[in-house]
Amino acid sequence: MKKKTIILIIIALIVVVLVKNKQEKIMIPTDAIRIRIIANSNSDIDIEKKKEIRKNLEEEIYNLLKDAKTSSEARNLINENLDKLNILVDDKTNSNYDLSFGKNYFPRKVYKGIIYEEGEYESLVVTLGKGNGDNWWCVLFPPLCLLEGNEDTKDVEYRFFVKDLIDKYKSS
């Protein structure tokens, strides 16, 4: 009986080690610019509003940043267009919100086996109402937001693709 218990404990430890090793840390470049949208609450209406704002902001910001070659260029374009982005959010919310661009807090996130560490990051953050709902975030520059649109991507392909994009960005 003791041997079986010891064997089960060893197997459990091996499984834990394998699962932890499966999650990779990919460092997003320090000069990357993120976006985060926080819903007012987790009600269906508030989550739908967050999704609608996300869609509209992604389209607008994609068009805005598509030719930016550096984070400095992207930063300048965002700063020059904050009024336009504010109007876009205001038109879709019909309620209180806060839009800020600068250093903002992001919680730790594990997505498709990749760990994104918590911290203060340069970002555009839209907080809807009280900001008590689920949030969505991704990287605006280099443009990694489009990766989440394809849900059928395999985890390994996603990890390699993200790593390749970040490595390419670092080398340019």
Q: Which residues contact 153 (CB under 8 A, 6 or more apart)?
A: 112, 147, 161
Residue 119 lies in a domain: yes
Residue 115 lies in a domain: yes
Which tops the pLDDT comparison, 78 or 151?
A: 78
**Count of the separate structural domains present in the chain:** 1
Residue 154 lies in a domain: yes
Which structure tokens are listed for 7?
A: 């064997």
Instruction: Domain of residue 75: give its range.
Output: 28-171
* Mean predicted confidence (pLDDT) in 29-37: 87
Residue 14 lies in a domain: no
pLDDT for 11: 65
Which tops the pLDDT comparison, 102 or 111?
A: 102
The string of pLDDT tens digits covering residues 42-77 is 999 999 999 999 988 888 888 888 888 899 999 999
Residue 66 lies in a domain: yes
Residue 3 lies in a domain: no
* Mean predicted confidence (pLDDT) in 89-118: 83
Residue 47 lies in a domain: yes
Residue 79 lies in a domain: yes
- Does residue 10 register a pLDDT over 70? no
- Does residue 157 register a pLDDT over 80? no
Residues 117 and 92: their CA atoms lie apart, in Å, by 31
37: closest CA among 104, 111, 112? Answer: 104
